[in-house]
């Protein structure tokens, strides 16, 4: 694995990022901040991970929210 000192997400899995966001905001607020169906309609970590792994634009929004709010964790 290459060292990526300028990548703040290096070493974090999508599951870790999503779990921390859900623990902090909950699916209700997460769905308000990022309006995607996997957060608003019968949400779960598993279904959200499946969608985010296939949908780059949604993953980028989740990663950006994580970076913007990680000081709050």
Tell me if 8 is assigned to some domain: no
Tell me if 23 is assigned to some domain: yes
pLDDT tens digits, residue range 13-62?
A: 999 999 999 999 999 999 999 999 999 999 999 999 999 999 999 999 99
Q: Which helix (H) or strand (E) holds 65?
A: helix 56-69
- Assign 3 to helix, strand or coil: coil
pLDDT (0 to 100) of residue 48: 98
Tell me if 9 is assigned to some domain: no
* CATH number of the structural domain spanning residue 61: 1.10.720.30
For residue 58, the enclosing domain spans 14-72
Tell me if 3 is assigned to some domain: no
pLDDT (0 to 100) of residue 2: 62
Which own/partner pairs from 21-28 qualify as long-range (CB within 8 Å, at least 24 positions apart)? 21/62, 21/65, 21/66, 21/69, 24/69, 24/72, 24/73, 25/69
Tell me if 56 is assigned to some domain: yes
Tell me if 58 is assigned to some domain: yes
| Number of compact structural domains in the chain | 1
């Amino acid at each position: 694995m290459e060292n990526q000192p300028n990548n703040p997400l290096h070493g974090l899995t999508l599951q870790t990022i999503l779990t921390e966001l859900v623990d902090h905001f909950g699916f209700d607020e997460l769905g308000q901040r990022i309006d995607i169906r996997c957060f608003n309609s019968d949400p779960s970590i598993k279904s959200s991970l499946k969608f985010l792994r296939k949908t780059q634009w949604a993953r980028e929004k989740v990663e950006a929210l994580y970076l913007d709010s990680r000081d709050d964790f």
